[in-house]
Structure 1
Amino acid sequence: MRSGFLPAGDDLGPLPPVGRIPDARPLPRSPAGIMRRCAATAVDLTIAVVVILVPLLGFDRVLGVLALPDRESATAWQSAAAAWTAAFVLLYSPLSVSRRGATPGKRLMGMEVVARGGGRLSYGQAVVRHLTNLVVTGIPLPAVANASSMTLSPDALGIHDKAVGSAVIHRRPTVA
């Protein structure tokens, strides 16, 4: 051993758990981790599939009863699918985040989205955050950078959080 260097691990001593109470529950208002965020996204995607597909399947049945020509039926279905999906994308997450502080998935996982200065995001900020998230997660290189940013930085901010000055934090301690 060279003089002036301490053996590995002795320089800092035991490291305390970051952002957690000793019984492993997250501290309120601490940054939410990527696994909890992924679980919330899975819940929100399940809601999205149901909310988007069920009405479209019903609309498809109505078009079948109307016996429209195939071309008109396909055009009507595609227009309805595009409009319904766009409405969902612009309303579900942005309205949930700006009005209640979280989507149903985030609420279920005990998280909320806040402005870094405190308080809720405006609807406009929530739309920009959501659309940025959709673009970032749809392109492989930014998706990796986003996941790395959320995993490796102490504040767990994704690119979409940095774009609007938001943070995803724990609302309350979860039940162990």
Structure 2
Amino acid sequence: MRLDTLHTAETPEGIALSLRPAGLMARSLAYLIDLAIRLVAFIVLAIVTGGMGGVGTALMLVSYFALEWLYPVVFELSRRGATPGKRALGLRVVMDSGLPVTPAAALIRNLLRTADFLPALYGAGLTSMLLRRDSKRLGDLAAGTLVVFTDSVSLHGEVPGAEPLAPLRPLNMREQAAIVSWAGRTRRLTPERLEELALIAQSVLPAGAPGAKASPRLLGVAQWVLGRRNVSGNDKGARP
């Protein structure tokens, strides 16, 4: 079962980054926007060079090559790392490490669009994106790149309210951090996944009624770890 669709990368400085890969729908819409932009630009150039004879034809061929192959490379190497279509959908191209895309990687991922197109209508690329969790097409696999959403990823939120419960035994700092981190993600997880993760901490959970779920009790432990103790005696137990 997937916990989420995040891609975790580590920079050379040892900084962990959480990236959210863009799926098939977002990338397809971005491609259609870029295709429309290139088509409009080509039509305008055709009108301008229409009366230039052979020179106009040569300019059209050069323009077609630039729009088809250089258009994505130039924009992906810009500060925003994205073509206008990707920017409109809130996407950008980065390396697997989360760093800005390199010139070599940008060239490779775009040149291999010919392989993604096979056998027709980007069949190979679409199949690869559907089968992979990070939605990489063949060009991304060869170049070591990733198309991600530019909005920040929030892994942890507010811990939901619960009756504070003391753990069965003292908790070290890593265990405390793990429990609070789990509690902060409750609104992003399904109830089944939440319970599955809570059962891992069964050894520190206070006793509950027969058949009681583990997740409400672990939320209580999270509240206790955060210092939200009852004055009534439920907080009497192991200290973290």
What is the TM-score when the length of structure 2 is the normalising length? 0.53
Q: 1:124 aligns with which of 72, 96, 104?
A: 104
Letter in 1 for 2:107: V
SS at match of 1:140: coil
Change (3 A) 1:95 1:18: same
Between structures 1 and 2, the one with greater helix share: 1
Q: 1: CA distance between counterparts of 2:60 and 2:121?
A: 28
| Residue equivalent to 2:37 | 47
| Residue equivalent to 2:128 | 149
CA contact (8 A) 1:29 1:172 kept: no
CA RMSD of aligned residues (A): 2.2
Q: 1: CA distance between counterparts of 2:75 and 2:134?
A: 23
Letter in 2 for 1:97: E
Gaps of 5+ in 1: 1-14, 21-27, 64-72
Q: Look at both structures and tell me which one has the larger radius of gyration over its CA atoms.
A: 2
SS at match of 2:74: helix
Q: 2:87 aligns with which of 100, 107, 120?
A: 107
SS at match of 1:167: strand
| Residue equivalent to 1:19 | 5
Change (3 A) 1:151 1:91: same
Provide the identity percentage. 28
CA contact (8 A) 1:44 1:103 kept: yes
Moved over 6 A (4+): none
Question: By how many angstroms is 1:125 displaced?
Answer: 2.0
Q: 1: CA distance between counterparts of 2:117 and 2:137?
A: 14
Change (3 A) 1:108 1:129: same
Summarize the alignment of residues 49-128 of structure 1 with structure 2, pairs less than 5 Å apart.
49-60=39-50, 62-63=51-52, 73=53, 75-99=54-78, 100-128=80-108
Q: 1: CA distance between counterparts of 2:106 and 2:145?
A: 9
Letter in 1 for 2:35: L
SS at match of 2:34: helix
Q: 1: CA distance between counterparts of 2:145 and 2:2?
A: 26
Q: 2: CA distance between counterparts of 1:50 and 1:44?
A: 10
SS at match of 1:114: strand
Q: Deviations over 1:47-73 (max 9, x none)?
A: 10011220221111x43xxxxxxxxx2
SS at match of 1:146: helix
Letter in 2 for 1:52: F
CA contact (8 A) 1:31 1:169 kept: yes
